């Protein structure tokens, strides 16, 4: 058989029907559901008099609209409440056994709980009405043919978030359009599962349909400790099968990009698209330095919205708020990395900083390790799980003009609240900025 990429192997194994000129019909192994994009789908089923075909392969949770304040306090926003109530009703009506409402100990951001609970597994096809479903590809599933290799070991102080910023900074927000990106190379292999999910999560910010990383021992060790993953001999047999998913030697990608890890540094976005990114040691670019008129205009507009000047040093940018959370960086490794930076230090008096664990389980795990104490003692607010200030759909929003160091994945205009200014960074960089009150190079912090 001809050499195949991991994507081709997974895709081919799931084809149900193909006809020339028509999209392929693909079997779906796991369907993830959240309250924002599911009401229309359930209405569609209801109108057609249909059931959910495989409730057992469907996992639903409440994440985008859930307030991050204490669970005993009711939801005040009526639109949020209506969306969450609709999911409660739909899950009951369609008999979804794996529905985690906001009070469940398995609740959390859909892209955090899927892998963490062991629903997302290598080789699976995973769908969800949400763009960051690309996260799940970190386990070696298809959640297509564009290879990105990050060569060499990662320098100290450079995180998974900086790897993906380095990639997006190079290929741009449309660099992956029409492709699935497979990430390979020594730097990728050395990442933990949580780090791999950060990289795959932001594939969508490079325009790609999905991101994936071949499963290896790091993946298998992770899956072995997941509550709902297969166990014992069944799991070990599956692991042998999953080892065969890796891209064959000699298989070709439509395009290959090579990035030397030694070129990566901690990054900070300065604009309103994720590829408007600079090294923390750099200055904000002068819009005049861009090649095309379109890029020059976009940079000018971004600087105006962000309230920044060309050539300003990134480290001179003062911040008002810090948000440590979102499906990009609210897993246990992210919280550990940030806690490590802030231990024994105090949040700057001009900054309001909050940590929002990605799921109720991540929160419990962090509390069991005492990370909540580290954050609280430093002056961080410690919240209940949800999408929170990643997007303005719940009470956590920026005031107009407020500037935030955020571990989320999108810095679009108004993303964190009308007029809010978002700088995307790694958890370590967000933690250091919270202490300093402005961006600092975490490598010398």
What's the CA gap between 442 and 445, in Å, rounded? 5
Please write down the long-range contacts of 92-98, taking CB distance under 8 Å and 24 or more positions apart.
93/42, 94/42, 94/45, 94/51, 94/52, 94/55, 95/52, 95/55, 96/33, 96/52, 96/55, 96/58, 96/60, 97/55, 97/56, 98/55, 98/56, 98/58, 98/59, 98/60
Number of shown-chain residues binding ligand SF4 (CB under 6 A): 13
Rule CB under 6 A: is residue 64 a binding residue for ligand SF4? yes
Give the other-Cβ count within 10 Å of 128's Cβ: 23
Q: Contacting ligand IPM (CB under 6 A), which of 378, 391, 404, 430?
A: 391
User: Residues 383-402: x/- map of binding to ligand SF4 (CB under 6 A)?
Assistant: ----x--xx-----------
Rule CB under 6 A: is residue 315 a binding residue for ligand IPM? no
Closest residue by beta carbon to ligand IPM: 131
Rule CB under 6 A: is residue 132 a binding residue for ligand IPM? yes
CB of 64 to ligand IPM, least distance (A): 5
Q: Contacting ligand SF4 (CB under 6 A), which of 409, 416, 422, 426?
A: 409
Bridge partners (DSSP) of residue 268 are 278
CB of 295 to ligand IPM, least distance (A): 24
Site for ligand SF4 in 112-151 (CB under 6 A): 130, 132
Number of shown-chain residues binding ligand IPM (CB under 6 A): 7
Nearer to ligand SF4, 108 or 271 (CB): 108
What's the CA gap between 165 and 424, in Å, rounded? 9
Nearer to ligand IPM, 165 or 222 (CB): 165
CB of 34 to ligand SF4, least distance (A): 7
CB of 406 to ligand IPM, least distance (A): 13
Rule CB under 6 A: is residue 424 a binding residue for ligand IPM? no
Rounded to the nearest 5°, which phi and psi values hold at 230? -60, 160
Rule CB under 6 A: is residue 64 a binding residue for ligand IPM? yes
Using DSSP bridges, classify how beta strands 15-17 and 25-26 pair: parallel, antiparallel or unpaired. Answer: antiparallel
Nearer to ligand IPM, 98 or 409 (CB): 409
Structure tokens at 170: 């190079």
What's the CA gap between 357 and 116, in Å, rounded? 13
What's the CA gap between 382 and 374, in Å, rounded? 10
Nearer to ligand SF4, 159 or 328 (CB): 328
Distances (CA, A) of 94 to 123, 142, 422: 27, 26, 39
């Amino acid at each position: 058989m001809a050499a195949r990429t991991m994507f081709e192997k997974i895709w081919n194994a799931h084809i149900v029907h193909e006809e020339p000129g028509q999209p392929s019909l693909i079997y779906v192994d796991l369907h993830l559901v959240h309250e924002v994009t599911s009401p229309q789908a359930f209405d569609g089923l209801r109108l057609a008099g249909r059931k959910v075909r495989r409730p057992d392969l469907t996992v639903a949770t409440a994440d985008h609209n859930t307030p991050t304040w204490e669970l005993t306090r009711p939801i005040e926003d009526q639109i949020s409440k209506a969306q969450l109530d609709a999911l409660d009703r739909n899950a009951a009506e369609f008999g979804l056994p794996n529905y985690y409402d906001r009070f469940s100990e398995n609740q959390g951001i859909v892209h955090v709980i899927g892998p963490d609970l062991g629903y997302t597994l290598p080789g699976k096809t995973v769908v969800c009405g949400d763009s960051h479903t690309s996260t799940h590809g970190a386990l070696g599933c298809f959640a297509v043919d564009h290879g990105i290799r990050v060569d060499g070991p990662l320098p100290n102080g450079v995180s998974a978030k900086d790897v993906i910023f380095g990639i997006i900074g190079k290929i741009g927000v449309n660099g992956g359009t029409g492709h699935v990106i497979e990430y390979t190379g020594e730097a990728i292999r050395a990442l933990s599962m949580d780090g791999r999910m950060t990289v795959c999560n932001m594939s969508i910010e490079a325009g790609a349909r999905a991101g994936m990383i071949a499963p290896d021992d790091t993946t298998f060790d992770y899956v072995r400790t997941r509550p709902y993953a297969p166990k014992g001999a069944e799991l070990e047999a599956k692991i042998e099968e999953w080892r065969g998913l890796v891209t064959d030697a000699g298989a070709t990608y439509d395009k290959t990009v090579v990035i030397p890890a030694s070129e990566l540094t901690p990054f900070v976005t300065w604009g309103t698209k994720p590829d408007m990114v600079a090294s923390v040691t750099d200055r904000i670019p002068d819009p005049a330095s861009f090649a095309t008129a379109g890029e020059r205009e976009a940079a000018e507009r971004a600087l105006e919205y962000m309230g920044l000047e060309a050539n300003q040093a990134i480290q001179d940018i003062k911040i008002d708020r810090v948000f440590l959370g979102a499906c990009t960086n609210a897993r246990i490794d992210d919280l550990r990395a940030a806690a490590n930076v802030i231990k024994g230090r105090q949040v700057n008096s001009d900054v309001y900083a909050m940590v929002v664990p990605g799921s109720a389980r991540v929160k419990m795990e962090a509390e069991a390790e005492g990370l909540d104490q580290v954050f609280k003692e430093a002056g961080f607010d410690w919240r209940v799980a949800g999408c929170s200030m990643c997007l303005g759909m719940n009470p956590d929003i920026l005031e107009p003009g407020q500037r935030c160091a955020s571990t989320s994945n999108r810095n679009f205009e108004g993303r964190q609240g009308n007029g809010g200014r978002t700088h995307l960074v790694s958890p370590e960089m967000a933690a250091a900025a919270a202490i300093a009150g402005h961006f600092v190079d975490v490598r010398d912090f």
